[in-house]
A and B are shown apart, each in its own frame.
Chain A
Amino acid sequence: SRTRSGISSFSLFQNQQCLTPQFLLYLAVPPSNGAFPPCPPFPRQDRHSDNSHLALQAKHTEQHEGRLYNIPLEELSAVFPHGLPHRFQQQVLTFNEARVMVRKPALELLAYLKGSNFSHPAVRYVIYGERGTGKTMTLCHVVHYCSRQGWLVLHIPDAHLWVKNCKELLQSSYNKDRLDQPLQASVWLKNFKASNERFLQEIKTQKKYMWGKRECTEEGRPLREVVEQGLARVRSASDAVGVLLRELKQQSHRGSFRLLVAVDGVNALWGRSTLRKEDKSPVCPEELTLVHNLRKMLMNDWSGGAIVTTLSQTGSLFKPSSAYTPQELLGKEGFDALDPFVPIPVPNYSPKEFESCYGYYLERRWLQHEKVRAGGSGWERTDRAGPGPPQLPPLCVAGTAPWPITGSAARTPGAAG
């Protein structure tokens, strides 16, 4: 049946041929009606996971590739008030733990960040790849590492949200030609405040800012006041964001803090928007205050940090679904603005990573398979000369099954390899 009562509505999987990380995340989504209780965490052999969370995370190297590391849930809500992919959040709810796989692109990025010179201008890294391969998760891994290392993380979860579906557009009081987005700005400010309380207290403003005719923020006040001003007076939220970005940019070179600018879906800033002004004329992203300020932030005229961005076709506007390379998604303008950047490709799961993920789901008893109960690994992987992860046979049966899918891999384990 085609109802969405179960994880596996048949239509969902019929089109899925390749084993992307997103495909496996699809498997992990619990049914929307919550028909079964979430699994409690239970001790296990950690064959596939790495308990090296606290001290060792900084020491993730190639030997940890393919293994999953744990983020404690309190830390998760502190570091990621926004920004995790939706499916991953549901997986966290299901399994009551957050396990992130250590993969090569993330390791590469972390190596660059560790070895970068912070007196030089900020380097831009652009993570790109096909749909569902794990770009946002790579970004989240880097964000987690940086926040663990004590950096100030400026995480914009999805830049596409700022160029579409905006109910309120106000004319900016600062610049008549620009448009403010109070709702988006205030939501972002709230999440930013939740994750960076410490820094907002320490960093002081360098200029006096006037909010309208009467209110102002003096020089030398902590940035927290700017944020609170933006949250209290929603009309000036976009300007508050602009002030915040400006201050951080100017002060990062001093060295008292490291700044990481993490933007997901950066191609939205140089694309088109579906917003319209009151006279029904289309709005360029350049005319939006938030986008304008973020573009300035992404220039490499400041030092003392790094800029990590992701390209995303999902959620993009007026881009074909097969586009995934930097030039296709950024366009000429975006490429010229971000150039020179370091492109970081994110491929599909390698066989080793796939086995790790599969084993993790088996351990959590999410994928159930008779052979596992008998003690085997649940499937044999025959050595294939060709590249690419082995194809899972269609596990998508029983659209109404409330429980985790029974492995109809039981049918033909040999065909799985």
Chain B
Amino acid sequence: MAARAGRCCRAGLSCGALLSPALLSPAVLSRAPATPRWGRAAFSSAPAVSGREGPQAREGSVRRRGRTLQFVRSAAPPRTERMAVDQDWSSVYPTAAAFKPASVPLPIRMGYPVKGGVPPPKEGNLELIKIPNFLHLTPPAIKKHCAALKDFCTEWPSALDSDEKCEQHFPIEIETVDYVSSGTSIRNPKARVVTLRVKLSSLNLDDHAKKKLIKLVGERYCQETDVLTITTDRCPLRRQNYDYSMHLLTVLYHESWKTEKWESEKSEEDMEEYVWENSHSQKNALDTLLRIKASENVSNVTKEELLASEVVKNYRNSVIALKNEGETESNISQYKESVKKLLNIQA
């Protein structure tokens, strides 16, 4: 017995010696420093505790589950509680990473709220983990990136200090995209696409040339911003696509200045905007005015005189506004007033 006890004691001591560093974890020390948990007492007391009162995860304890022992580490408080307000955030999120609720000290809620409740909190929230976040791209982080890149950059020319000057001196903008990925090859077929943007106001085009150019390019011209966008990707290399887009621009410019024979057959349907001269409206107005003059026995009134008169000019402007800008209340009332003056209608 004694030998067995001695053996056990020796075993217990050695086990205790082995166990004590494991048991003396910081959490355990911090939570329950006073309780000695080494030696036989540890073996004997813990199962009794766990058997009766259920596992208590708070306190670092040893549970017996069947015949095996499990060590339950206590859950550490989240890192957010130890974060200073003025900490360096780029060290928390140096690269793109998933959302870690314990590392982001923000009280975020996301998801569909329970009925009469609020959206779920951030702990264990799959919705927050799924979505891409930009926590690694905060302004201080960007500043650091720029500082790192500065060594590879040259100075911005001091003469180009405003957007207008940039546009004036460099009207053509070329846009290319470079792709980086982790893989065996640095090539990416999407990198050959070149987009050329230019404002038509910076090109030397007269009225006919501008209209012809717009008809030639079709969808590539944006009316509101007056920007022509040419995207080329038909060549395998970026340089080739760039050369091709410059060639396209040159050809368009020169072709739009030429006038072909068949352009004289341009009809009313081809017109981009309403032109009052030689339109039905002008004809009707002149006919009506001539008839009015004839009924008043006023002869020798020429068309040019009528066209130059104030009422006709007013009428012309109102019809042009109505046709080009569409029908609004103000346009229609302006048209009404001009017709009343033209036909001399008094209320």
Contact = CB atoms under 8 A, between A and B. Distances in A.
A295 to B, nearest CB: 14
Interface stretch (A119-127, A272-280, A366-374): A119-127
A117 interface: yes
Given A121-B291, A303-B295, A327-B327, A339 B347 contact: no
A345 B327 CA distance: 13
Q: For the complex, would chain A's binding face be called helix, strand, loop or mixed by DSSP majority?
A: mixed
A301 interface: yes
Nearest to B336: A343
B239 interface: no
B346 interface: yes
A378 interface: no
Contacts of A116: 345
Contacts of B9: none
Nearest to A107: B347
A110 to B, nearest CB: 10
A327 B343 contact: no
B288 A328 contact: no
B170 to A, nearest CB: 44
Contacts of A119: 295-296
Contact of B347 (A115, A117, A345): A115
Interface in A311-360: 325-328, 336-337, 339-345
Contact of A123 (B279, B287, B295, B343): B343
Contacts of B49: none
Given A120-B295, A123-B345, A342 B332 contact: no
Contacts of A301: 287, 291
A343 B338 CA distance: 11
Interface in A117-166: 117, 119-121, 123
B291 A325 contact: no
Nearest to A336: B280
Contact of A339 (B296, B319, B329, B332): B319
B339 interface: yes
A343 B280 contact: no
Bin the interface of chain B by size: 20 to 34
A289 interface: no
Contact of A326 (B292, B329, B332, B342): B332
B188 interface: no
A129 to B, nearest CB: 11
A340 B347 contact: no
A345 B332 CA distance: 9
Contacts of B336: 342-344
A344 B345 CA distance: 14
B327 to A, nearest CB: 4
Given A115-B347, A327-B327, A340 B291 contact: no
Contacts of B302: none
B329 to A, nearest CB: 8
A340 B281 CA distance: 7
A38 B329 CA distance: 42
Contacts of A326: 327, 332
B288 A121 contact: yes
Contact of A341 (B280, B296, B329, B339): B339
Nearest to B318: A340
Nearest to A121: B291
A340 B284 contact: yes
B347 A343 contact: no
A133 to B, nearest CB: 14
A340 B315 contact: yes
A111 B340 CA distance: 13
Contacts of A111: 347
Q: Which of A115, A301, A340 has the most CB of B within 10 A?
A: A340
A300 interface: yes
Contacts of A345: 329, 332
A109 to B, nearest CB: 10
B285 interface: yes
B172 interface: no
Interface in B299-347: 315, 319, 322-323, 327, 329, 332, 335-336, 339-340, 342-347
Contact of B339 (A325, A327, A336, A340): A340
Nearest to B346: A115
A336 B281 contact: yes
A108 B323 CA distance: 26
A112 interface: yes
B315 to A, nearest CB: 7
A306 to B, nearest CB: 10
Interface in B259-293: 279-281, 284-285, 287-288, 291-292
A324 to B, nearest CB: 10
- Output the residue of B279, B281, B323, B343 with the most chain A CB within 10 A: B343
B284 A343 contact: no
Contacts of A300: 288, 291
B327 A108 contact: no
Given A325-B332, A327-B327, A339 B280 contact: yes
B322 to A, nearest CB: 7
A6 B294 CA distance: 60
Contacts of A328: 327
A342 B279 CA distance: 19
Contacts of A327: 322-323, 327
Contacts of B284: 336, 339-340
Contacts of B285: 339-340
Contact of A112 (B279, B295, B323, B347): B347
Contacts of A344: 336
Nearest to A328: B327
A112 B346 CA distance: 6
Nearest to A338: B284
A115 B345 contact: yes
Contact of B343 (A120, A337, A343): A120
Contacts of B339: 340-342
A342 B345 contact: yes
B281 A342 contact: no
Contacts of A339: 280-281, 284-285, 319
A380 to B, nearest CB: 32
Interface of B: 279-281, 284-285, 287-288, 291-292, 295-296, 315, 319, 322-323, 327, 329, 332, 335-336, 339-340, 342-347
5 contacts: A115-B347, A121-B295, A325-B332, A340-B288, A340-B342
Given A111-B347, A344-B336, 15 more contacts: A108-B347, A112-B345, A117-B344, A120-B291, A121-B292, A121-B295, A326-B327, A327-B323, A327-B327, A337-B280, A339-B281, A340-B281, A341-B339, A342-B336, A345-B329
